[in-house]
Amino acid sequence: MIRILIADDHAIVRAGLQQFIADQPDMQVAGEAATGSEAVALVRGGEFDVVLLDISMPDRNGIDTLKTLRQIAPAMPVLMLSGYAEDQYAVNLLRAGAAGYLNKEAAARELVGAIRTVVNGRKFVSPALAQILADGVARDADRPLHAELSQREFQILCKLAAGAAVSKIAAELNLSVKTVSTYRSRVLEKMGMKSNADLTYYAIKNGLID
């Protein structure tokens, strides 16, 4: 049985969702919350397989509630519900750890399908959101990896790629060795690389250094 927590500040919305779920023999509404704080308290005190969470809650916004729920129960999927179109919030919510995003106007069969998808460990992506993500991938394909770096990170990337030691970079930029090392780790992580040699190859390939 899939145990579901519905978190929405509108009683009529909760009742409607509960009605859709009641028609499914393998699902049950195991709890209801009218605020983000109530949702957090219920998750702390009970066991749920999935949370349906409204993005607009009266006491705390959906993103804050989502992040707290992810800390309390990292393995439990949270399916975000909203009256807003996917292009306004969906991508940021997925990045924040949501298992999916569903417009409240979606048909009942889409809601049920979304619940089954996230409970089975997959992300739920509606056709509208899939198009948004595809458009984003197409745009990102034309952007170099270093476009995501800050000005300081890019500066350190170029120095590392040119073969400068961390201690030398620290002295040149009037930074501590620890700070430069942190920047180095951040640059490698953002660019998906493992070593200075990778940075050097990338920098030469993209004309950042001779």
Between 42 and 139, residue with greater pLDDT = 42
- 14/118 same-domain check: yes
- 151/119 same-domain check: no
- Give a yes or no: residue 43 inside a domain: yes
- 128/179 same-domain check: no
- 106/154 same-domain check: no
Mean pLDDT of 17-32: 92
- Give a yes or no: residue 210 inside a domain: no
Tell which of 138, 159, 182 closes a domain: 138
Q: What is the pLDDT of residue 138?
A: 44
Q: What is the pLDDT of residues 65-124, one digit of tens each?
A: 998 999 999 999 999 988 776 565 777 788 788 898 888 877 677 889 999 999 999 988
Q: Which of 101, 97, 103 is nearest to 68 (CA)?
A: 97
Does the model's pTM come out above 0.75?
Answer: no
Tell which of 117, 138, 159 closes a domain: 138
Outline where the chain has alpha helix (H).
11-22, 36-45, 62-72, 86-95, 108-119, 127-141, 151-161, 166-173, 177-191, 196-205
- Give a yes or no: residue 185 inside a domain: yes
| Band (46; pLDDT cuts 50, 70, 90) | confident
- 13/116 same-domain check: yes
| Domain limits for position 12 | 2-138
Q: Which of 103, 3, 122 is nearest to 51 (CA)?
A: 3
- 183/123 same-domain check: no
Q: What is the pLDDT of residue 129?
A: 66
- 160/184 same-domain check: yes
Q: How many domains does one find in the chain?
A: 2
- 178/91 same-domain check: no
Q: What is the pLDDT of residues 156-208, one digit of tens each?
A: 888 898 888 999 999 988 999 999 999 999 888 887 888 888 888 888 887 88
Supply the CATH number for residue 48's domain: 3.40.50.2300
C-alpha 8/C-alpha 32 separation (Å) is: 8
- 152/131 same-domain check: no
- 84/53 same-domain check: yes
- Give a yes or no: residue 194 inside a domain: yes
- 158/119 same-domain check: no
